[in-house]
Amino acid sequence: MGGAAGSVIGTAQRTEAYPRLCDYRVEHILLGGALQPESAAAATGLPRWRQQVQYAVGHTLNDFYSLRPEVRWETPVQFLLERRWPPKGEAFPSLLHYWDVKTAVADELMRIVSQNHLQDTPVKLYEQWHVAVPELRLELALIFQLAWGSAAPGRCLSIQKFMVSANKEVICGFRHMVNVFCQMAYGLPADRIEIYSLLDGARFVYDGDSFSLQESLDYVRLLAVFLEPEVKKSLAIHSEGRRNERREENSVWPRLM
């Protein structure tokens, strides 16, 4: 699932194509700046083992929370993790590191899911959603691992993000991007944002309204400038896709007349 998020305040539908800024590319680049050069993958800013573990965690959470609440209670999350876990290979520095990471992540996931929204169903689950930001003339795309409805007045979502190892720059960027997304899509700030750091068992909780919209717009604007070549490339790809769609429509329509 996933797709375009419409605003609840009834803004007019836009016809202009905006370049897309994706949260995962922002995260990779911010991590790449924080990691030692010898341990970072040049293409993404992430060591390969961490990419593989992050992939396994995301899909395990999707598998687990796709189940009905009563079925979750009877399903060991470590069993689901085992199905997604990467094989031993050259991505991990050593066999000991492989087992240390696997044990730490499995233990932390078991602890978290045993007390996390036991009877609730997430409203967004491992989905990418995007929203237009006319003030910045771009489209902001975020992957929501887990998002829950909020009963708090004047708030829209409670959002949870699971990282192999937390990084303060990535957390700050994610909070700003979530704020822009929620304000643009729903006209409301998020309820709260929770970040889980699986390898060290840390949990960070933030008020979704801790930044003003203008602060977050300024932050995302700086990210867009930093990632300008990629953002322009996304616009070119999007525009080519739209042209192909129109050509297909034009070729089919006369036959339907």
Q: Per-residue pLDDT tens for 117-131?
A: 999 999 999 999 999
Q: How far is CA 116 from CA 61, 162, 178, 179, 198, in A?
A: 12, 13, 21, 23, 15
56 pLDDT more than 60: yes
CB of 72 closer than 8 Å to CB of 113: yes
Three-state DSSP state, 162: strand
Q: Which residues pair with 20 in a beta bridge?
A: 139
List all residues 6 or more positions away from 82 whose beta carbon is below 8 Å from its beta carbon. none
The pLDDT of residue 6 is 55
CB of 128 closer than 8 Å to CB of 177: no
- Closest by alpha carbon to 156, among 145, 168, 148, 164? 148
Q: Which residues pair with 10 in a beta bridge?
A: none
The pLDDT of residue 96 is 94
Q: How far is CA 147 from CA 190, 191, 204, in A?
A: 10, 10, 16
CB of 105 closer than 8 Å to CB of 58: no
The continuous run of DSSP H or E covering 73 comes out as none
The pLDDT of residue 226 is 77
Cite the beta strand spans of the chain per DSSP E.
Answer: 2-4, 20-22, 124-133, 138-149, 157-163, 192-197, 202-207
Tens-digit pLDDT profile for residues 5-16: 754 433 334 446
Quickly state the pLDDT bin for 28 (edges 50, 70, 90): confident
Quickly state the pLDDT bin for 252 (edges 50, 70, 90): very low
Question: Could you state, in order of their start, the residue ranges of all structural domains in the chain?
Answer: 28-113
Number of helical H runs and strand E runs in the chain: 8, 7
Quickly state the pLDDT bin for 230 (edges 50, 70, 90): low
The pLDDT of residue 130 is 95
The pLDDT of residue 105 is 98
Mean pLDDT across the chain, nearest whole number?
Answer: 84
245 pLDDT more than 60: no
Considering the entire predicted model, what is its pTM?
Answer: 0.81
Q: Which residues pair with 127 in a beta bridge?
A: 144
Which residue did the predictor score with more confidence, 65 or 32? 65
Which residue did the predictor score with more confidence, 62 or 45? 62
List all residues 6 or more positions away from 245 whose beta carbon is below 8 Å from its beta carbon. none
Tens-digit pLDDT profile for residues 153-188: 999 999 999 999 999 999 999 999 999 999 999 999
Q: Which of 144-148, 210-214, 223-227, 244-248 has the lowest mean pLDDT?
A: 244-248
Three-state DSSP state, 235: helix
Mean pLDDT of 133-160: 96
Task: Read off the DSSP letter of residue 201.
Answer: T
253 pLDDT more than 80: no
